[in-house]
Structure formats: C-alpha cells, structure tokens
Structure 1
Amino acid sequence: MTIKDLKHPGLFAAGVLFGTAGIKALSSKDAKKLYTNCTAAVLRAKKVVMDTVTTIQENAEDIYADAKQINEEREAAEEAVEDVAEETAEEAVEAEAEDTVEA
C-alpha cells in the first residue's frame, strides 16, 4: 500500500468533515441572524427603489399630460390660422368678383 492509495480516501473523509462542519455553520443561530439581517436590508432597499419608481412614474404622467395639452393648443392655433386664411381668401375672391361686376 502506497501513500497514493491512501490519498483518495483521506480527501473523501476531509470533504465529508468539511461539508458537515459547513452545514452546521450555515444552520447555526448566528448564521440565521445574518440571513435575517440581510433579508431585512434587501426589503429596505426594495422599498427605496419602489418609492423612486413611483415618483418617476408620477413625473412621467405629468410630463405626458403637459405635452398632450401643448399639442392640443398648437393644433387649435393652427386651425385658427387656417380659418383666418380661408376667410381672407374668400373675402379677396368676393372683392375681386365685385370689382369685376362693377367694371
């Protein structure tokens, strides 16, 4: 029997021992307290992120409503200009027709 033959079972035994110790460490009260504190920190961070998202959504809705209002006002102004242009063109045609009738 050589050292090489004893190496593999020794590594296996060390792995089992390390795994058992790791499981005990991960399931201890201190580990549970650490997990609880980490989870609480994540929940606090989630709240902050959600508050920020809500604020951004509200601002985006305000911006969208203001943009729609600006476009509606612009369309109304363009329609008013077109109406005035049509009336002026109609008056010019009528005036020209009267001038031709008078002449």
Structure 2
Amino acid sequence: MLKLKNVDWKKGGIFAAGVLFGTAGIKALSSDDAKKLYTNCTAAVLRAKTCVMKTAATIQENAEDIYAEAQQINEEREAAAEAAMVADAEAAEVAAETAEETEA
C-alpha cells in the first residue's frame, strides 16, 4: 500500500496545474478570437513580404543600371586608351621619319 508520507504533493500539484493550463491553453489557442489574431498576423506578414519584395526588385534594378553604366565607362576608357596608343605610335613614326630625313 502507498504511504501518504512518501507522496510528494508539490510535484503532483504542479503536474495537475500543468495539465489544466495545457487544456485551457489549447482551448484559448483554438478559439475564434485567436483565429482572427492569427489571420491578421498572417495578413501583416504577407503585406510585409510584398513590401520587401518590391524593395528588393528596386535595388536589383538599380544595381543592374549601375553595372551597365560601369561597363560603359570601362569601354569608353579602353577606347580612349587605344586611341592614345595609336596617336603615340603615329607620333613616333613621324618622329622616326623626320629623324631619317634629317640624317639623309
């Protein structure tokens, strides 16, 4: 037979309170008011997602524009460098021809 002196009533009370709280919690979480709260929270998250996606699309478009402009700048610089090299080469040829003519 179970002796009442060895029973820990505190632990039993805590267990019973936990069961009661869990049962009440399940009822509260499945109520119509809770469902309305869940629906409104979900709607807010979806609105936030839409806002974030629009912002991300804008940032991506701006990044693409920046990248295209940077490529254009580099192409223009390369073209200018090539033109400068051609001009230097032509000037060197002219200088060489002038030097040959003066020697002759």
What TM-score do the two structures reach when normalised by structure 1?
A: 0.91
Given residue 74 of structure 1, which amino acid in structure 2 is its aligned partner?
Answer: R
From 7, 25, 34, give the equivalent of 1:22: 25
1:5 Cα offset (Å):
2.9
Deviations along 1:8-43, whole A, 9 cap, x unmatched?
A: 222211111110000010011111110010000000
Q: Secondary structure at the match of 1:69?
A: helix
* 2:91 equivalent to 1:88: yes
Distance 1:13 1:32 in 2: 27
* 2:69 equivalent to 1:66: yes
Distance 2:9 2:62 in 1: 70
- Structure 1 alignment gaps of length 5 or more: none
- Structure 2 alignment gaps of length 5 or more: none
- Please list every run of at least 4 consecutive aligned residues from structure 1 whose deviation after the TM superposition is greater than 2 angstroms: 4-8
Given residue 20 of structure 1, which amino acid in structure 2 is its aligned partner?
Answer: T
1:6 Cα offset (Å):
2.3
1:62 Cα offset (Å):
0.4
Given residue 27 of structure 1, which amino acid in structure 2 is its aligned partner?
Answer: S
Q: RMSD in angstroms over aligned alpha carbons?
A: 1.4
